[in-house]
Structure 1
Amino acid sequence: MFTPIMKPRSRPSAGDYQYVDEAAVDAELKCLICTRPFQVAASLQSCGHVFCQTCITTWISQQNSCPVCRRIISPGEIKPITARNFINMLDNILVYCLHCNVTNIRRGDMGSHLQKCSMVVISCSAADIKCPWKGPRKEMSKHLSLCIFQQIHPLIETLQTEAKSKANVCNQLRERIDAMDKKLQEQSRFIRAFMNNGRPMSDYCIALSPDHCKIMKHAGGAQNQSTNRLFCSVCRSNVSSGSISLHHCDGGCICQSCIKKYCSDLTTIQALPRQQTMYELRPRLDASSMNRQLSRARNGLRSARRTQNVAISESVSLLNVPQTTHRYE
């Protein structure tokens, strides 16, 4: 059986109790502004006078001087009193409950009394699912035996837990899809660089001699000169001839690091040798291989999106509310 959990009540207010004999309370324990026993006592650092923290804060918002000695003060001078003996004297003042009329309660114990007072007005334990009932604590048991909201509360909690779990799954799927989107964009960028404006790159020279290959001829010069640098078409980093994996003799190259990053599942491409002709055929990365890898990445992305749509639909159906979540297509 579901056991209702009572939420803790905030600290007692002036509307919860009255003093048994307020006139007998020591004047040193009374505020000089409201003339009542301190609720939360605070002192002014400059002059040492003590007031209720609420009273002196309100006073300073309208006046800039101490109510007693008229010394100029600022809000930063207000400091709560934390001395244990002073707080104990305030807690020992006797009060009676305005809800049940029980008397001779220590003011410091009033909070504990309100937690069990049979006449305190409380909300239904199913108020979190919109039960409107409010009434004395002693009538709570009777209300719970008839409360429709309380009867479905365990079911609602179960559905909320399941919906939260589904939401976590959806968030994880979104993160995976975002990561795959990013990877797909990077691979698309690699494909565009590889295709090289209709001049696909390769790992061998199509020129008859190194002198006719712009990349090898360019790399053979003084690479320390800023006008003679080679840049990877993908990552745009400065590369040496020894770190080039793909190139086209008319211009454009891709470094080994980008090959390892975007083509880790394909045949390893060696660094570009300084002299190699089109007749020396080697295993190479061609356009059809790159298109197959791009197709696999796209298929994986579609599969992840379908899985996310199923998880979102299940979460919405559990709560039996109209689906408003955008579906990925």
Structure 2
Amino acid sequence: MESRIACDSTSLGAAAGVIYCAGMRPVVAVDLGGTNIRAAYYPRGTPPAVRSSRRATGAGDGPTAVLERIHAAIEDLALSAPEAEAMIIGIGAPGPLDPATGVVHHAPNLPGWHEVPLGEMLSRRWGCPVKVENDANLAALGEWGHGSGRGAHHLILLTIGTGIGGGVIVDDRLVRGWRGLGGELGHLPLVADGPRCSCGQAGHLEAIASGTAIARAYRQVGGGPADGPAITTERIAAAARAGDPRAKAVFNDAADAIGRGLSGLVHVFNPERVLLGGGVVRAGEWFTGHVERALRESLMDATFGEGLQVLPAELGDEAALLGALTLVTSDA
């Protein structure tokens, strides 16, 4: 993947003897999560980061307090005045949001985040350009530019963790849709009368196959006390590997649902790669192999599967940060 920003001789500032030009402005990448805020500094607009920071989000304290912690995470990078003057900020946030305006419409795991002008508020504080994007879309961009998606022109990333998210790349461009709301892959409707999703609708993929859904299904089949401590997908996966038929069944049901959902996306977008990320994927190759089998068995024609690669995502927690970097330094 090549950056499409041409470097010219326009000086944008200097720090430690480095002259910044239009194609190599320093980038601060930020990943705003429900639990942590992570920031990284890329002085030449390319990996690796030379400094990074982490702050607890404290989501329950509301948008103003969280925004102050975002500022603190950036301050922790200890940028010089010339670095701060020359930088661009790319930030990923839970959606839905509008990347054109930088407004977060609603973030379910960030209480009080309704119509928050995140981009404008960061730009006003730091006096620099700010690009805002859905965090799952940034993970797709990160894998496309720096991970398992390198060299692909058409790909789908599905991340399966507490919830389900992802992003789609078509012709080397992120699919955003009319208002920038596209890519909500966890909200594919699969079962009309299925379990209630976190968004309030019924039968979405996230409600059937996320880590939360797997834990709930395991409890429902007697895999744990209804009012006991949280049962993690790691524990359920370990039970499945040890031969627990209930654990195997709930993981297999989730894999079937994911495969069916992905087959629909393959029919729509005809990708060359499907990448699987998130904590649930760490259950092992037996799980991802089941997902791939279910995907291929659900295709309307085997031609859709010819040459299609189903691969694990590579970047883990770094995906959104590297996606923010890619957002700033390419025209994807």
What is the TM-score with the length of structure 2 in the denominator?
Answer: 0.23
Larger Rg: 1
Structure number having the greater helix percentage: 1
Structure number having the greater strand percentage: 2
Structure number with the bigger relative contact order (C-alpha 8 A, sep ≥ 6) is 2
